[in-house]
A and B are shown apart, each in its own frame.
Chain A
């Protein structure tokens, strides 16, 4: 509203204020729905016109809060309001009634010296009015007073008696409950496999980034290597284990590049790169080591996912392959949810963006596969049939997930057989 927002919003606001503002001027909404002219400045000045808010900020007993209260016709809300925030003002009222009770010798214990004063002044008129009905009401009204005065303490009194404790108790109880609920959510075994699967992609991109930097740096020393090697991991190993190109021999290069060793050694001999100092080379080697360790971590994670998925979802991971299975599982959130999903949803996991693009604009074709595109069977299918293969695979995956969650049998063989068959048809 402060800046000029587009016509869209401008118009909706306008219509809203017309709608809600004009018709209801006589009752409650008056203060709120002064037709807004759309600029911030005007609304500010509205505010400052009201004395309550800006000039007397200290008052916050609830009554002074709402500037437009007077305009409200159907505020039966007053009584409800009092329950929470206006108590202290009502309190003296309650006390001043009490002396009647005093006359009738009941709740004296409560009446303090202070409250006796109004008692002396008032009683006659009260007596005259309702001596008869009083007895009946008394017990009730006393009980009422009791409960009412019980409530407000929560808000206004600062002594840490009853109600304060009640809020505290409630708080403690609910915090404890929320804690245990959070804990229960993390107790599912599949959660760990899901985490690991989510990490793998990230690790890959980290490795690529570091490797790129490392190779770029090393290329100042030996630029030809990148063209010949074409394999980041092996190249990093060569950098880490050998380092300076002058040390390249057939032996130590063969370890990483058995076929290209000779070529590399030759290239090293007549390289156009500059010589490199020991400290710089050391930095490069350390960088190579770090990125290689990421690769190692990835391998550990894969074995972890394999073993974990075998426990959690035997059939599902057998059909999909452990990594893909963990990814799909992560997208579904839990084994339970995965087991009740339709196969079409499983087919499109990971292709949400394309799906919504299609839903928004029907001229864009719908996606045929999401994560399951990386399944070897889908990969091998020729392009025009990939969609069909993906559909078949998703169907089998849905069956497998259901068996895993609701049953105990190992049906993966049959499922895989069916898939192979379908693959032969589509090949």
Chain B
């Protein structure tokens, strides 16, 4: 078990995080015991952040105690691993608009003390701005399949991210345009992101996700 990033471990080509709630699985992943510590396997096929790390993300801006705003938390597959990494002193605010997935995420939040659910539209960050009490976050992460993904990301960055802080966004080409090729779509979206961000890395998420790209940037 080798630690490749803070809190992220690798063993035989598989990613792991240390389980914050030993003994409990979140989405049916494997649990592994090493030196009496329990690790959860991070399945890149299920998680876009996992896929990005697998594909060579150069820096993962997460550490013990980080405060993360996670847009598109869904049922909490990726947030559960982020929660493992940031530990019990960290805080993850998971925003999602669908009550269908939120009901699972709420249950996860009750189990993990560093998760907070927010049922709101990420397109209107003013709605949940009050919950953050004007505090900035250490990382803005977004995984939303909307046509205006990049705009949403910029809006949230303006409100919650201080200059120099990192942002990660998973772009889904197919939800932006069916007609254009993914490459064209990504170019355009990155141009939009450049209004707010200094882009540091762009990488495809194949073969784990089709027509997806992860963009890593730093707030200007």
Interface residues of A (CB under 8 A from B): 1-3, 5-6, 8-9, 11-13, 16-17, 19-20, 24, 28-29, 31-34, 36, 40, 43-44, 46-47, 53-54, 57, 60, 62, 65-66, 72, 74-77, 80, 83-85, 154-156, 167-168, 170-171, 174-175, 177-179, 181-182, 185-186, 356, 359-360
Contact = CB atoms under 8 A, between A and B. Distances in A.
Interface in B37-74: 54-56, 58-59, 63-67
A65 B63 contact: yes
B91 interface: yes
Contact of B178 (A53, A75, A356): A356
Given A53-B5, A62-B63, A40 B56 contact: yes
A8 B182 contact: yes
Contacts of A1: 55-56, 203-204
A12 B205 CA distance: 13
Contact of B89 (A20, A154, A168): A154
Nearest to A157: B89
B119 interface: yes
Looking at A12, A34, A156, the one whose CB has the most chain B CB atoms below 10 A away is A12
Contacts of B203: 1, 13
B103 A85 contact: no
Q: Which 4 A-B pairs have the closest CB atoms?
A: A77-B164, A9-B204, A32-B200, A57-B3
Nearest to A151: B135
Given A1-B203, A31-B59, A76 B163 contact: yes
B201 A33 contact: yes
Contacts of A54: 2-4
Interface stretch (B20-28, B75-83, B106-114, B146-154): B106-114
Nearest to A361: B179
Contacts of B207: 3, 5
A20 B58 CA distance: 14
Looking at B93, B109, B164, B213, the one whose CB has the most chain A CB atoms below 10 A away is B164
Nearest to B204: A9
- Chain A at the B interface: mostly helix, strand, loop or mixed? helix
Nearest to B182: A8
- Chain B at the A interface: mostly helix, strand, loop or mixed? mixed
B93 to A, nearest CB: 8
Looking at B54, B55, B113, B207, the one whose CB has the most chain A CB atoms below 10 A away is B55
B164 A74 contact: yes
A22 to B, nearest CB: 13
A80 B135 CA distance: 10
B199 A20 contact: yes
A242 B218 CA distance: 75
B99 interface: yes
Contact of B198 (A17, A28, A57, A60): A28
B81 to A, nearest CB: 17
Given A356-B178, A359-B178, 7 more contacts: A1-B55, A12-B202, A29-B218, A53-B3, A57-B3, A60-B63, A185-B99
Interface string B129-172: 00101001010000000000000000000000011110000000
A66 B200 CA distance: 14
Interface string B81-98: 000000001010100000
Contacts of A32: 58-59, 200-201, 216
